[in-house]
């Protein structure tokens, strides 16, 4: 069997060895409850708060502004529900057509209860039009929720500009920064967001841990005394400690290497294969993401053949791949999916040049083989 080549790091990442190692004692010796008042619990609470401080520093926030959640999806839903409860008389929300399922599905539910949702459109490169956004604002708008980076095409959205406009109208601004974390700098003060979601498993921490930045007022989704009454539930101590370590290990210099490798991969493929189309805003993408389509080659078929060689990419977001629906992100970009259906290649810190060379070779052979058969 060939060595595995994992190129689906936007779906999830491998837990870093250092992250794993700092977690282990909190399963074994240090299993106290951080809410306990004796030292066995207090020690753990101190470590949870150290992780909180690391995460806060990374986001340029104060530790008190960070709560831990079970995942990025919980952070997103908590942010939305708090915002609408803080403004019960307002019934209009603005979001985009390219958000993650945790936002989209929450919006669909809110529509059933009488909320009006504006889903901002994107152009063929996945870009938003800020004029459309400004025109959508009404006196009834209580929340604007826009992602910082897209999981499928990698586009980076102008959160700072959107926040500014939101605040000129006294509207709460939430940002889903799950795919931005670790890939581009996030400064909550500079962005001036009210709420911002992140998740551990996109940055080499385990699955099942997230955090939410809360600037000021907040109504919890899960009631209880933990997290200063903002999120009930005994803290997931080992995962929180691991999340802190993973954030400490974020290295933006390494991200430049990843970007060079991604660009090299795209160039080599384009040099050797005809009719390649790359989706998204090519010059304004996360450094690791490439949404690549090969004319007349179905992404599903390409993905399956790659899998048979132990190479893993996806054809959209992992969250959608169980449902055989065309990607809502690519549909929003008016993509010609009959002729150009893309695979999503997302690199991570463990990918090497040798792996990318191997991947390029395989793509050239497989695409040519599929095209010859037609
Ligand atoms: N938001 C975006 C943009 C994502 O890509 C994801 C995960 O794929 C999430 C939110 C959800 O994060 P989690 O898997 O931690 O719930």
Give the tens place of pLDDT for each residue, 106-154.
999 999 999 999 999 999 999 999 999 999 999 999 999 999 999 999 9
Bridge partners, residue 291, by sequence = 279, 344
Mean pLDDT to the nearest integer, 168-175: 98
Q: pLDDT class for 322, splitting at 50, 70, 90? A: low
Residue 183: name the closest of 206, 150, 211, 213 by CA.
150
Mean pLDDT to the nearest integer, 162-167: 98
Asked whether 147 lines ligand 1 (CB < 6 A), one says yes
Locus of tokens 């529900």: 81
Q: What is the pLDDT of residue 183?
A: 98
Residue nearest to atom 9 of ligand 1 (CA): 72
Asked whether 151 lines ligand 1 (CB < 6 A), one says yes
pLDDT at 318 > cutoff 50: no
The helix/strand/coil state of 312 is strand
**Distance from the CA of 197 to the center of ligand 1, in angstroms?**
9
Count CA atoms within 13 Å of residue 246 on its CB side. Answer: 30
Q: Taking each helix axis from N to C terminus, what angle separates 252-272 and 353-373, rounded to the nearest 10 degrees?
A: 30
Q: What is the pLDDT of residue 325?
A: 78
What is the DSSP code (8-state) at residue 284?
S
Asked whether 199 lines ligand 1 (CB < 6 A), one says yes
Report which secondary-structure segment, H or E, holds 268. Answer: helix 252-272
What six digits make up the tokens of 318?
């992992």
Q: pLDDT class for 319, splitting at 50, 70, 90? A: very low
**Distance from the CA of 154 to the center of ligand 1, in angstroms?**
13
| Residues taking part in catalysis | 319
Asked whether 102 lines ligand 1 (CB < 6 A), one says yes
């Amino acid at each position: 069997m060939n060595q595995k080549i994992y190129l689906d790091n936007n779906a999830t990442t491998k837990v870093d060895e250092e992250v794993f190692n700092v977690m282990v004692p909190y399963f074994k010796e240090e299993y106290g409850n951080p809410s306990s008042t004796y030292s066995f619990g207090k020690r753990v609470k101190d470590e949870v708060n150290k992780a909180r401080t690391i995460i806060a520093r990374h986001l340029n926030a104060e530790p008190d502004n960070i709560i831990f959640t079970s995942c990025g999806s919980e952070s997103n839903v908590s942010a939305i529900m708090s915002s609408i409860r803080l403004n019960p008389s307002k019934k209009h929300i603005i979001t985009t057509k390219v958000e993650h399922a945790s936002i989209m599905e929450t919006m669909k539910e809110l529509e059933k209860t009488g909320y009006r949702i504006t889903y901002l459109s994107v152009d063929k490169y996945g870009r938003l039009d800020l004029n459309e956004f400004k025109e959508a604002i009404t006196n009834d708008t209580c929340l604007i929720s826009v992602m910082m980076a897209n999981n499928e095409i990698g586009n980076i959205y102008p959160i700072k500009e959107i926040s500014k406009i939101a605040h000129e109208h006294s509207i709460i601004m939430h940002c889903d920064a799950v795919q931005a974390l670790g890939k581009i700098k996030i400064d909550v003060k500079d962005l001036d967001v009210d709420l911002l979601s992140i998740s551990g498993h996109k940055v080499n921490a385990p699955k099942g841990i997230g955090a939410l930045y809360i600037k000021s007022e907040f109504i919890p989704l899960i009631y209880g005394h933990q997290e200063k009454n903002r999120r009930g539930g005994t803290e997931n101590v080992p995962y929180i400690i691991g999340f802190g370590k993973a954030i400490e290990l974020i290295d933006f210099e390494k991200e430049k290497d990843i970007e060079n490798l991604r660009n090299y991969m795209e160039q080599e493929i384009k040099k050797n294969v005809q009719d390649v189309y790359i989706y998204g805003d090519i010059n304004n993408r996360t450094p690791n993401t490439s949404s690549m389509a090969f004319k007349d080659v179905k992404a599903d078929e390409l993905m399956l053949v790659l899998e048979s060689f132990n190479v893993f990419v996806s054809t959209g977001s992992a969250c959608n791949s169980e449902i055989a629906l065309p990607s809502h992100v690519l549909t929003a970009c008016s993509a010609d999916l009959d002729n150009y259906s893309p695979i999503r290649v997302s690199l991570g810190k463990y990918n090497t040049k040798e792996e990318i060379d191997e991947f390029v070779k395989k793509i050239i052979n497989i695409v040519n083989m599929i095209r010859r058969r037609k």
